[in-house]
Amino acid sequence: MSLKYIDCHNHIYAEEFNEDREQVIEEAKKSGVLGMITVSEFVTDTDKILNLADRHPNFCFPSLGVHPVQETNDVQRSATIEDFLQMKPEIVGHAERLVCIGEIGLDFTPRVCHSESDKESQRLVFSEQIKLAGDHDLPINVHSRSAGRPVVKLLKELNATKVLLHAFDGKPSVALEGVQSGYFFSVPPSIARSEQKVKIVKALPIENLLLETDCPALGPEKMVRNNPSNVKISCEFISKLKNIDADLVSQIILENSIKLFPKLNLR
């Protein structure tokens, strides 16, 4: 049985792929990738993501949202409500073709988040996007760096139900709170070098796991460009840690992906 995968969170539109993007996409298809969800970070990503979806229908599935970390003059900062108001018309205008809203969430790493007001600003932007997803009956694709517990807390407060927590870096006990609310957790190839990711996979039921690459980041080797075809590494690690055949892991996780993202059209 040939294994099949969905890369549920990636940035194939990133400049790191400008020289060989089409080749990388073809390699992903040959390696068993049936589709990939391309998530935005900035409003300027919108056209890149939609153009990819046009060029690769039923393979590159678009997602739009405001990442909690934004940039002004090459300086990273926390997202503000103005960032959301710029992106909102894009999300609303293209809601019918989006498979989810993302990448959204919280990032409380000290180099970006300098104060409580930064945290509040991020919470407001995250909350508005959670509500917008509910208005359009769309799942959300969530970033939670150094903010696992605050993210799960806010998701529960706002009664979010269709949730993917990508590359979750919190404690297994916090992740299990998410499992109790029906949330899914996607596993990147960086599990090959992350004891924390290993602990998460061991702790969570396979029924709540998905696959991702977050390419070009979070590859099996640090500082080496990650490609969508590496999603198979995540599957192999889950198979090993759960002691379940890789073909069954692939099948279960494919079903999980379609359950969370019903607009995935895998023709």
Q: CATH number of the domain at 5-260, out of 3.40.50.150, 3.20.20.140, 1.10.10.10, 3.30.160.20? A: 3.20.20.140
214-221 mean pLDDT: 98
With CA atoms as reference, report the closest residue to 28 among 228, 257, 254.
Answer: 228
With CA atoms as reference, report the closest residue to 229 among 79, 7, 68.
Answer: 7
Give me the helices (H) in 7-165, please: 21-30, 46-55, 81-93, 116-135, 148-157
Would you say 177 is a known binding-site residue? no
- pLDDT of 7 over the 90 cut: yes
Taken as a whole, the chain contains a residue count of 267
* Tokens of residue 120, six digits: 């509040």
For all residues of the chain together, what is the average pLDDT? 97
Please answer whether residues 237 and 202 qualify as being in contact, where contact means their C-beta atoms are separated by less than 8 angstroms: no
CA distance 235 to 213: 11
Please answer whether residues 185 and 230 qualify as being in contact, where contact means their C-beta atoms are separated by less than 8 angstroms: no
Could you state, in order of their start, the residue ranges of all structural domains in the chain?
Answer: 5-260
* Tokens of residue 29, six digits: 């298809």
pLDDT tens digits, one per residue of 127-157: 999 999 999 999 999 999 999 999 999 999 9
Q: Distance from CA of residue 106 to its chain's centroid?
A: 13
Instruction: Please list, in sequence order, all residues whose beta carbon lies within 8 angstroms of the beta carbon of residue 169, skipping any fewer than 6 positions away.
Output: 144, 145, 146, 148, 196
Q: Distance from CA of residue 53 to its chain's centroid?
A: 17
pLDDT tens digits, one per residue of 167-198: 999 999 999 999 999 999 999 999 999 999 99
Would you say 166 is a known binding-site residue? yes
Give me the pLDDT at residue 265, please.
Answer: 84
| 103 band by pLDDT with thresholds 50, 70 and 90 | very high
Residue pointed to by tokens 């290993």: 198
Instruction: Please list, in sequence order, all residues whose beta carbon lies within 8 angstroms of the beta carbon of residue 27, skipping any fewer than 6 positions away.
Output: 227, 228, 229
Give me the pLDDT at residue 267, please.
Answer: 66
Give me the helices (H) in the chain, please: 21-30, 46-55, 81-93, 116-135, 148-157, 172-180, 195-203, 231-242, 246-260
- pLDDT of 101 over the 90 cut: yes
CA distance 140 to 260: 9
Residue type, 43: V
Give me the pLDDT at residue 133, please.
Answer: 98
Give me the pLDDT at residue 2, please.
Answer: 81
Would you say 136 is a known binding-site residue? no
Helix (H) or strand (E) holding 234, with range, is helix 231-242
Give me the pLDDT at residue 266, please.
Answer: 83
* Tokens of residue 181, six digits: 């609310």
CA distance 103 to 62: 11
pLDDT tens digits, one per residue of 30-88: 999 999 999 999 999 999 999 999 999 999 999 999 999 999 988 999 999 999 999 99
CA distance 62 to 13: 11
| 23 band by pLDDT with thresholds 50, 70 and 90 | very high
Would you say 143 is a known binding-site residue? yes
204-228 mean pLDDT: 98
Instruction: Please list, in sequence order, all residues whose beta carbon lies within 8 angstroms of the beta carbon of residue 96, skipping any fewer than 6 positions away.
Output: none
CA distance 227 to 102: 20
Give me the pLDDT at residue 1, please.
Answer: 56
